[in-house]
Structure 1
Amino acid sequence: MTWDAYYRGDGAVRADTPLPAPPPWRRFPSRPAAEVFRPPVGLIDAVNAALALRRPLLITGGPGTGKSTVIEQVAAELALGPVLRWHITSRSSLAEALYRYDALGRIHAHRLQQERMRPGDEGGRDDIASFLHLGPLGTALLPSSRPRALLIDEIDKADLDLPGDLLDVLERGEFRIAELMREGQDAAHVRMWDTDARHLVENGHVQCTEFPFIVMTSNGEQELPAPFLRRCVRYTMPKPTVALIREVVRGHLNMEVSDTGPTADLVDDFVRRVAAGESVAIDQLLGTLHLLNGPARSEGVERERLIGLLMKDLSGA
């Protein structure tokens, strides 16, 4: 195995040792995912239906199947701008996705102002907008000439109440910033999620003019409420086939998979494992093929050991 050219575990310093070139998808700045993603059968129809109906697209499937990649391609093809991202955990809330108010920061700034004042000075009123920051969903709902693209990743990991709360905002396409309304601020320039640029918010009210293109992903770990599902266009990623995996390998590694041989056997085994219900991802396979056909060329026991290391079932420890 050619690993001997790199780390050897003997403690000797080799400052001039060149490291192997990274795989294409781990080179930075990274190659746009839109260039290599190949949508499976039916996904194009689902995307266009969601665009036409102004409904969120809910994509269900296993890890590494490209659920979160499709929005990159759609945003690139339709010039929707950088993709906004909201990664869901069990602690995620609708409020933080709309906007965040730094009350403690405002109090601290007010105290500093008071400390710097000289006797007889009149304290100026602070700008509450400086302590507001729109979240990914709040930014996506700003009025615009073209819809923004928003990824809500792993919606099935949310608290049980979040889908219902989210549904109300998506149905109305609007929300209000309570702090601006409470202080009667008619106009405020609030910072957006993905940039330092600010957007004018009038009377504390944000109303979209173009409903954002929203992709929500789910691993199927939790059942979502029927009213929520009814308002989504739903698509389930198909199980990978040998033909599909060969196309993915060609796109990512610029490698042709022959009908027979070690690489074909590895692809066939991957498809068989997924069909049997094992949790293995396409990026695991791509990484394995990259190493076995490059920095870690090997045969026999060494090859099998490396495959075992990289192709572990994701549901295990």
Structure 2
Amino acid sequence: MPLNVLFAARPERWETYEAPLKTALAEAGIKARLATDMPADEVDYIVYAPNSGVEDFTPFTRAKAVLNLWAGVEDVVGNPTLHLPLARMVDHGLTQGMVEWVTGHVLRHHLGMDAHILGQDGIWRKDVPPLAPDRRVSILGLGALGQACAETLGRLGFAVTGWSRSQKEIDGMTCLSGDKGLVSALQSADILVLLLPLTRGTENILNAKTLAHLPRGAVIVNPGRGPLIDDDALLAALDKGEIGHATLDVFREEPLPAEHPFWAHPHVTVTPHIASETRPRSASQVIAENIRRGEAGEPFINLVDRDLGY
């Protein structure tokens, strides 16, 4: 008998995921009926986006897991009706996209590209940037995405420091944790990259107090979560010249309202949440692998720790 797999996401997602999911399931040897609507008590697995219409998981009495389409789970992990295993999305397409975006913007600020792209004024200014080993980069968040970005920047020669909630050991990188470690990571950041999950402990982790630990003129690159930063505190630090520039891909409200001061600020770059997008083909392979594991009695991959929130 085929498995019943409910695709619970917005209609436009179904248009892009239907064919890749069916292909991935077939390649994994899984016989499944994939649909956007079916009786809740007949569903075996839920492929889920938190902005779908499914909010009450109580009727899904037969379901074995919820397989999130997004890397972030803050919009679902606290749902009191969800008692099923919840897996977040970690796929190589998403990781590759993040690595490319972060590396590109770190190199942009490291090399001072804006001065040449925007400053074609006929004046020959020979300002030679330091080499990568002399540019200190700190990454807050050492999950799959943070580690991948850190490894790539390290291979380019940057002096990379990583900070995470719990202590980690990664070859070739200084790893810090805890409150004191956070202060050290900030103090040693010419360029700061935010790749933390959004939890009660990370919201507003960059605020007036912590921003003050950054070297004057430091650059902030945030492709993680908008609420990691206190917007007002960041704007104040930018206006005072304490922070040199902020390149922001994620925001508290998206799309970012046209009247938000980030749009017009001369030292802010806004990108429209494009740093890392889940690719249907690679994401479908991850989903199919988790369904295969569930049916084989193997542990699911990328399971969310409910206590930690990610």
Normalising by structure 2, we get a TM-score of: 0.31
The higher relative CO (CA closer than 8 Å, separation ≥ 6) is in 1
Normalising by structure 1, we get a TM-score of: 0.30
User: Which protein shows a greater Rg?
Assistant: 1
